[in-house]
């Protein structure tokens, strides 16, 4: 059978965090697009889905890609999605980049509290309070004003039902026992000032269990690592660009 992707750039599949929109990858797409066909995936709307559904949907959308060609990038909530995808379709993936993420979210009380309080965001006052603290947090992490503005605009577009469902799914996932099954080269990027995820500890935990993995720490960056000046996914997207002894 003729390969319909012959001559095309390889795919860079970007899997978003809890926002689910894919729009927070915007600052990274131009540099990546010089070597890749960039697809920032969206989870869509609705709240009737599970981990299997997300993996299956990703699998269907990438079924025609050449073997061993896909660059998979995931941040935060997208990390378990990406890990599930790589475990299900290892033959499709060339490289995996995980950003400020985890195989299991250990802050259970915080997770349950976020799930319980999510319905309050239908009220303007609660949304304004959240915007205030998000703006303050991003500023403390060194995210520039234009990127902070973009972040707030994106979170206002979130499908709340889907967002709450994703929070619920995090209570059910534990991929720690399967990390050793990942065989593709893996880069773990972690912000040292991440207030949402203990990213450095999680990255080192995963790197110790994934066969071919390395960690790069950004001490002054926070959870919005990909909105931080000087951080470029393109720098970690090729074999030539990465020294796994660094970081």
Residue-wise DSSP of 200-214: HHHHHHHHTTSTTEE
Residue 99 lies in a domain: yes
Residue 5 lies in a domain: no
Rounded CA separation 99/194 (Å): 11
The pTM for the full model equals 0.89
Give the CATH number, domain containing residue 223: 3.40.50.1820
> To 10 degrees, what angle do helices 51-61 and 78-88 make?
60
Residue 3 lies in a domain: no
Pairing type for strands 93-99 and 213-218 reads unpaired
Residue 4 lies in a domain: no
How many structural domains comprise the chain?
Answer: 1
Could you tell me if 215 and 245 are in contact, meaning their C-beta atoms sit under 8 angstroms apart?
no
Residues 163-222: pLDDT tens digits? 899 999 999 999 999 999 999 999 999 999 999 999 999 999 999 999 999 999 999 999
Residue 73 predicted with pLDDT over 70: yes
Residues 6+ apart with CB under 8 A from 153: none
Rounded CA separation 155/148 (Å): 11
Widest pairwise Cα distance in the chain: 58
Domain that holds residue 146: 10-241
């Amino acid at each position: 059978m003729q390969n319909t992707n012959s001559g095309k750039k390889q795919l860079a599949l970007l899997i978003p965090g809890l926002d689910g929109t894919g729009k927070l990858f915007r600052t990274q797409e131009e540099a990546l697009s010089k070597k890749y066909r960039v697809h920032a995936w969206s989870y869509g709307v609705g709240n009737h889905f599970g981990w299997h559904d997300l993996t299956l949907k990703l699998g269907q959308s990438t079924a025609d890609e050449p073997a061993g060609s896909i660059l998979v990038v995931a941040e935060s909530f997208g990390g378990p999605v990406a890990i599930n995808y790589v475990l299900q379709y290892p033959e499709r993936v060339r490289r995996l980049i995980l950003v400020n993420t985890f195989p299991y979210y250990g802050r259970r009380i915080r997770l349950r509290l976020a799930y319980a309080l999510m319905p309050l965001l239908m009220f303007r006052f609660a949304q304004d309070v959240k915007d205030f603290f998000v703006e303050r947090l991003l500023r403390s992490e060194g995210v520039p004003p234009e990127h902070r503005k973009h972040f707030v605009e994106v979170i206002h577009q979130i499908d709340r039902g889907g967002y709450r469902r994703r929070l619920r799914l995090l209570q059910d996932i534990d991929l720690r026992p399967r990390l050793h099954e990942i065989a593709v080269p893996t880069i773990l990027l972690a912000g040292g000032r991440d207030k949402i995820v203990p990213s450095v500890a999680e990255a080192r935990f995963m790197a110790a269990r994934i066969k071919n993995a390395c960690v790069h720490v950004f001490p002054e960056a926070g959870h919005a690592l990909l909105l931080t000046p000087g951080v470029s996914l393109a720098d970690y997207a090729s074999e030539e660009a990465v020294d796994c002894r660094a970081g």
